């Protein structure tokens, strides 16, 4: 099942498409191989404009809070989100964990969140280790996002010593590419505030929510005590996230960030690139086109009889591999034959994915759903195979 050669081929083809000659070019010349990579929007490659911004950045010490590029960027994000203060962190995980640790002052305490959320499933148990928090997962009844009523049922408001009081609700938007509506966020925040519970948002992809027209960045951010926003996913920066909130929140968050080893010195090399990512991709309005392309990818799949498991509301498409009778491993292999990098049934359409990639998805759909030939080898999908990991 090793496919190293095929991967090399995909990358070489991407380079060829870029400069038209096949001559090796600088890896910074975006999009590069990411043009055919649907595994995640984290694989977006930084651009030459980011490289130029890095070359032109200031190089003062951010632990001393003296770097103008970083300070200006933090003010810029505070303005954009309508929050008092912003703090740059190394990753989305660090942003969430710093925010959680900042809010929670001492056990016993619990956090309520969607059972699929990144903070519960993909942060190495950080909330338990770093904040000593018990987590209370909710399975959304509507299959899309958790509601106020489900949160009310899950929160522990007892002052009984047997309980583990809920001090934080953590939401995620988008989650699986699905938008949590602004009205629901407002209802949750109003109720939480009335009950002395703080609300954090994992807004790694909040940019996508805004690009989908669900509400403004400021309106969404007004619903939360803290928000973490990622620059290195759909916006394409090499590194970095921001946590935003009240001024006192930032003061304590800076302390926690330092404790976790996230206090950095010449941070301008990162913040300069992250600012270009926000300006070019988010403010530049390129995300909407990816949503349109994601819908196109879903239509292509459906044209050949494929089904999807989630609605396409932003940049993620979920192919139902089980219904198609193909395992994730096999689908990935077929994708490689079509010149695509895949990770399973979830296809993430980022701004560096173009029309040629969609044409390849069509070939892939023909191959796995109709048994058509790919790259000379005839591959018929088995009638029924259990889906493996995704
Ligand atoms: C919703 C969400 N939150 C947080 C993160 C963590 O980001 P990072 O990989 O930068 O730690 C991810 C990563 O993909 C994510 O999808």
Q: 146, 174, 171: which is closest to 287 by C-alpha?
A: 174
Q: What is the Cα–Cα distance from 80 to 356, expressed in whole angstroms?
A: 34
Q: Provide, for the chain, the percentages of residues in helix, strand and coil under a 3-state DSSP scheme, each rounded to the nearest 5.
A: 45, 15, 40
Q: Do residues 58 and 205 both lie within one domain?
A: yes
At 37 the three-state DSSP class reads: strand
Residue 136's pLDDT is 98
Residue 132's pLDDT is 98
In the structure encoding, which two tokens stand for residue 21, read together?
């000659």
Number of domains in the chain: 2
Q: 211, 208, 195, 100: which is closest to 155 by C-alpha?
A: 195
Compute φ and ψ for 70, nearest 5 degrees. -70, -45
Q: Does residue 82 have a pLDDT over 60?
A: yes
Q: Do residues 335 and 229 both lie within one domain?
A: no
Q: Do residues 62 and 117 both lie within one domain?
A: yes
Residue 170 lies in a domain: yes
Q: Is 363 left (phi over 0), alpha (psi -120 to 50) or beta?
A: alpha
> Could you write out the DSSP letters of every residue in 85-130?
EEEEESSHHHHHHHHHHHH--SSS-EEEEETT-HHHHSSTTHHHHH
Q: Which of 95, 122, 177, 201 to mutate to test the pocket of ligand 1 (most atoms within 8 A of CB)?
A: 122
Which residues have a Cβ under 8 Å from the Cβ of 248 and sit 6 or more positions away? none
Residue 210 lies in a domain: yes
Residue 357's pLDDT is 97
Residue 16's pLDDT is 56
Residue 388's pLDDT is 29
Digit-coded pLDDT (tens) for 33-42: 899 999 999 9
Q: Do residues 322 and 268 both lie within one domain?
A: no
Compute φ and ψ for 385, nearest 5 degrees. -135, 145
Confidence of residue 371 (pLDDT cuts 50, 70, 90): confident
Q: Which of 204, 277, 343, 348 to mutate to test the pocket of ligand 1 (most atoms within 8 A of CB)?
A: 204
| Boundary (domain end) residue, out of 282, 304, 324 | 282
Residue 195 lies in a domain: yes
- Ligand 1 center–CA 162 separation, angstroms: 34
Q: Which of 89, 92, 226, 229 to mutate to test the pocket of ligand 1 (most atoms within 8 A of CB)?
A: 92
Residue 42 Cβ inside 6 Å of ligand 1? The answer reads: yes
Pair 199, 223: CB distance under 8 Å: yes
Q: Does residue 29 have a pLDDT over 90?
A: no
Q: Which residue has the tokens 């130029």?
A: 52
Q: What is the Cα–Cα distance from 233 to 277, expressed in whole angstroms?
A: 10
Q: What is the Cα–Cα distance from 222 to 225, expressed in whole angstroms?
A: 8
Provide the domain limits for residue 68. 49-282
Q: Do residues 278 and 295 both lie within one domain?
A: no
Taking residue 52's Cβ as centre, other Cβ atoms within 10 Å add up to 14
Q: Which residue has the higher pLDDT, 74 or 384?
A: 74
Q: Does residue 1 have a pLDDT over 90?
A: no
Beta bridge pairs of residue 172: 202
Q: Do residues 34 and 71 both lie within one domain?
A: no
E strand intervals along the chain = 85-89, 110-114, 134-138, 166-172, 198-203, 226-230, 241-245, 316-318, 346-348
Residue 384 lies in a domain: no
Q: Does residue 9 have a pLDDT over 70?
A: no
Q: Do residues 44 and 144 both lie within one domain?
A: no
Question: What proportion of the chain, given as a percentage, has pLDDT over 90?
Answer: 86
Q: Kindly report the CATH number assigned to the domain that includes residue 323.
A: 3.90.1150.10
Confidence of residue 32 (pLDDT cuts 50, 70, 90): confident
Looking from the CA of residue 202, the nearest atom of ligand 1 is 3
Weakest mean pLDDT among 9-13, 211-215, 337-341 = 9-13
Mean pLDDT of the chain: 92
Looking from the CA of residue 92, the nearest atom of ligand 1 is 7
- Ligand 1 center–CA 117 separation, angstroms: 10
- Ligand 1 center–CA 93 separation, angstroms: 6
Q: Do residues 17 and 89 both lie within one domain?
A: no
Q: Which of 233, 240, 274, 316 to mutate to test the pocket of ligand 1 (most atoms within 8 A of CB)?
A: 233
Q: Which residue has the tokens 């338990």?
A: 128
Q: Does residue 381 have a pLDDT over 50?
A: no
Q: Do residues 353 and 293 both lie within one domain?
A: yes
Q: What is the Cα–Cα distance from 168 to 135, expressed in whole angstroms?
A: 10
Residue 91 Cβ inside 6 Å of ligand 1? The answer reads: yes
Residue 376 CB burial class (10 angstroms; 0-12, 13-18, ≥19): exposed
Q: Do residues 244 and 113 both lie within one domain?
A: yes
Average the pLDDT over 308-314 and give the result: 95
Residue 387 lies in a domain: no
Residue 172 Cβ inside 6 Å of ligand 1? The answer reads: yes
Residue 300 lies in a domain: yes
Residue 6's pLDDT is 64
| Boundary (domain end) residue, out of 218, 247, 282 | 282
Question: What proportion of the chain, given as a percentage, has pLDDT over 70?
Answer: 89
Q: What is the Cα–Cα distance from 351 to 294, expressed in whole angstroms?
A: 10
Which residues have a Cβ under 8 Å from the Cβ of 215 and sit 6 or more positions away? 182, 209
- Ligand 1 center–CA 228 separation, angstroms: 10
Q: Kindly report the CATH number assigned to the domain that includes residue 134.
A: 3.40.640.10
Confidence of residue 28 (pLDDT cuts 50, 70, 90): confident
- Ligand 1 center–CA 242 separation, angstroms: 12
At 248 the three-state DSSP class reads: helix
What residue owns the CA closest to ligand 1's atom 9? 92
Compute φ and ψ for 350, nearest 5 degrees. -105, 175
What residue owns the CA closest to ligand 1's atom 5? 92
Q: Do residues 224 and 275 both lie within one domain?
A: yes
At 348 the three-state DSSP class reads: strand
Residue 382 lies in a domain: no
Residue 223 lies in a domain: yes
Q: Do residues 61 and 31 both lie within one domain?
A: no
364-374 per-residue burial string, b: 16 or more CB within 10 A, e: under 16: bbbbbbeeeeb
């Amino acid at each position: 099942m090793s496919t190293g050669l095929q991967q090399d081929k995909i990358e070489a083809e991407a380079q060829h498409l870029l400069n038209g000659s096949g001559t090796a070019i600088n890896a910074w010349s975006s999009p590069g191989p990411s043009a055919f990579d649907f595994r995640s929007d984290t694989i977006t490659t930084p651009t030459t404009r980011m490289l130029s911004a890095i070359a032109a950045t200031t190089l003062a010490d951010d632990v001393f809070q003296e770097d103008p590029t970083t300070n200006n960027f933090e003010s810029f994000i505070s303005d954009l989100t309508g929050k008092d203060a912003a703090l740059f962190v190394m990753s989305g995980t660090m942003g969430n964990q710093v925010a959680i640790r900042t809010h929670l002052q001492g056990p016993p305490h619990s956090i309520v969140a969607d059972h699929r959320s990144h903070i519960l499933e993909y942060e190495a148990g950080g909330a338990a280790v770093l904040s000593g928090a018990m987590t209370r997962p909710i399975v959304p009844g509507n299959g899309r996002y958790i509601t106020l009523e489900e949160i009310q049922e899950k929160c522990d408001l007892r002052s009984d010593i047997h309980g583990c009081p809920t001090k934080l609700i953590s939401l995620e938007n988008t989650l699986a590419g699905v938008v949590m509506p602004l009205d629901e966020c407002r209802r949750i925040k109003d109720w939480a505030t009335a009950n002395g519970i703080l609300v954090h948002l994992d807004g790694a992809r909040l940019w996508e929510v805004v690009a989908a027209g669900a509400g403004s960045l400021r309106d969404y951010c007004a619903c939360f005590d803290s928000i973490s926003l990622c620059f290195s996913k759909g916006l394409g920066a090499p590194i970095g996230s921001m946590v935003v909130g009240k001024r006192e929140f930032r003061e304590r968050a800076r302390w926690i960030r330092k404790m976790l080893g996230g206090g950095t010195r010449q941070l301008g090399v990162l913040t300069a690139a992250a600012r270009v990512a926000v300006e070019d991709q988010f403010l530049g309005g390129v995300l909407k086109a990816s949503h349109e392309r994601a819908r196109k990818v879903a239509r292509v799949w459906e044209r050949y009889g494929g089904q999807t498991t989630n609605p396409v509301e932003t940049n993620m498409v979920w192919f139902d591999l089980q219904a198609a009778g193909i395992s994730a491993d096999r689908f990935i292999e077929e994708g490689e034959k079509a010149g695509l990098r895949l990770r399973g049934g979830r296809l993430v359409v980022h701004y560096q994915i173009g029309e040629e990639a969609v044409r390849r998805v069509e070939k892939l759909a023909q191959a796995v759903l109709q048994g058509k030939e790919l790259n000379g080898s005839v591959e018929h999908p088995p009638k029924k195979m259990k889906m493996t990991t995704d």
